[in-house]
Structure 1
């Protein structure tokens, strides 16, 4: 929702259609990215210095920054247990009732990007150029890529842990993507 002064704000609509402003971190922008069945909204917002932070707003509350993060939050997701995952700068973090966990890197890679989380706590994303899953403890597992292909992009994970995504080859341009499901 845009507000006067060229700012954006995250809002939640209730079942009667009323709009509830979720507040801000003191900056000009907030963007929701997901909502769970409990009504918890997650996304990102700028603080008074213009730094993007991963945020959470439980039902009936305003946005609050998640702890232990650097700048440049993006790709923020939540499951129905209110476990949140997000990419912050070049690393991915997981917030739960037990604290903050950094999602592990595959050996030989230098950055991660998280793309989602299911209710079992399995997260999906990439570590370097590799498609991966992370278990609820943040341990990483590479997803296999069919022979002759070298690019993978996981985009969704279901309750059973099946991952949908795309695979292709960087040796051809443009990359010819095709859909794949990892089970």
Structure 2
């Protein structure tokens, strides 16, 4: 543009035309560029909840008599992980890079957290007194989740405590935050390879929830004391860099949720909307982050009030993007929910295929290079043609100047 503005010529319309076309092409509005395009793989009937860096996917599918946990790979397809002895159902929530799977299974003793491996099958991880659920596992085999303290499975949820399980120590109660009115309830959501745990805790009678991080050296500390400003916070995922993804939300009035990333003491607000390309419309009352990889890519979901629907991906370069706009529309799929992203940028979740069937899916990035969307291709050609003409005009002016000298 500096070159255009400094040209000593009476041709004024051409620079303006070229500038407008270039701006259309280069993207004054980042949403005009496709950040990443994804290939979609149909994992099978059911829902996907986790994946590892090898590309194995875990979740649950219906057997007709109840849900069973599964592990899926490109080479082997879907494998039924079964249920705990005396159980009627199971759901897999996470898998590490060596293929260990964690989740929950309903048995004659109530719902219990489980660990599954190819060599040992499904193992009951025990309980702190009532029902238990395993939500995540790291590459060291440490498992995080939550368990009720009550003697029966119908004990009220406020008795729940976050736990950390390992082969050597078994299930350890991570406790709650002490002091003031905090600490009646805790839930462990995720763990990284350094053993840092994140989750949510509640205050006794306030109704507010607060995001926390736990370490073996420092115990449980608040990430966000959101109850002070009339909102709650939840931490749902942590990567190996120590970045935490979650949300801040308000249940007291109209439900509004903002996705956030906590990094090195800073709170990065990802916003509360999913832009609809080509319009100023937003059909969501909020968004929440569900996972974050080591590159800082975040995935999550939009909400119609408290109902989850509308998955997104966020990067610091592109902002929030609707994942349904980043897959081939000719496939006829509608992505409903995303749950996890690995360090290769692959994403898993649940959607409906062209026949309206609920299916688990795996998204794999085609390219990390931004490419123009169809509406901007014409502008690209226009800019190219205009700049070519402009360079020709420059050469003509340069020759005229040399002759005058």
Q: TM-score, normalised by structure 2?
A: 0.41
Q: Which runs of 5 or more structure 2 residues have no equivalent in the other structure?
A: 1-60, 149-159, 203-208, 264-405
2:99 counterpart SS class: coil
Q: Which runs of 4+ in 1 moved over 6 A?
A: none
Quote the Cα distance in structure 2 between the aligned partners of 1:168 and 1:7. Answer: 33
Cα distance 1:170–1:44, how it changes in 2: closer, same or farther (>3 A)? Answer: closer
Preserved contact between residue 100 and residue 116 of structure 2 (Cα < 8 Å): yes
CA offsets, 1:25-67, max 9 Å, x none?
Answer: 1211011111111100100001134x10000002333111003
Displacement of 1:73: 2.1
Preserved contact between residue 101 and residue 137 of structure 1 (Cα < 8 Å): no
> Is the helix fraction higher in 1 or 2?
2
Question: Does the alignment pair 1:17 with 2:79?
Answer: no
Quote the Cα distance in structure 2 between the aligned partners of 1:125 and 1:92. Answer: 8
Matches within 5 A, 1:116-155: 116-128=190-202, 129-136=209-216, 139-145=219-225, 148-155=229-236
Question: Does the alignment pair 1:33 with 2:114?
Answer: no
Aligned partner of 1:77 among 117, 123, 136: 136
Cα distance 1:76–1:138, how it changes in 2: closer, same or farther (>3 A)? Answer: farther
Equivalences, count: 180
Q: 1:95: which partner in 2?
A: 165
Question: Does the alignment pair 1:166 with 2:261?
Answer: no
Displacement of 1:150: 3.0
Aligned CA-pair RMSD: 2.2
> Between Structure 1 and Structure 2, whose CA radius of gyration is higher?
2
Larger relative contact order, structure 1 or 2 (CA cutoff 8 Å, min sep 6): 2
Preserved contact between residue 77 and residue 115 of structure 1 (Cα < 8 Å): yes
Quote the Cα distance in structure 1 between the aligned partners of 2:218 and 2:127. Answer: 16
Q: TM-score, normalised by structure 1?
A: 0.86
Quote the Cα distance in structure 2 between the aligned partners of 1:165 and 1:2. Answer: 29
Deviates more, 1:13-22 or 1:25-34: 13-22
Preserved contact between residue 53 and residue 69 of structure 1 (Cα < 8 Å): no
Quote the Cα distance in structure 2 between the aligned partners of 1:170 and 1:10. Answer: 32
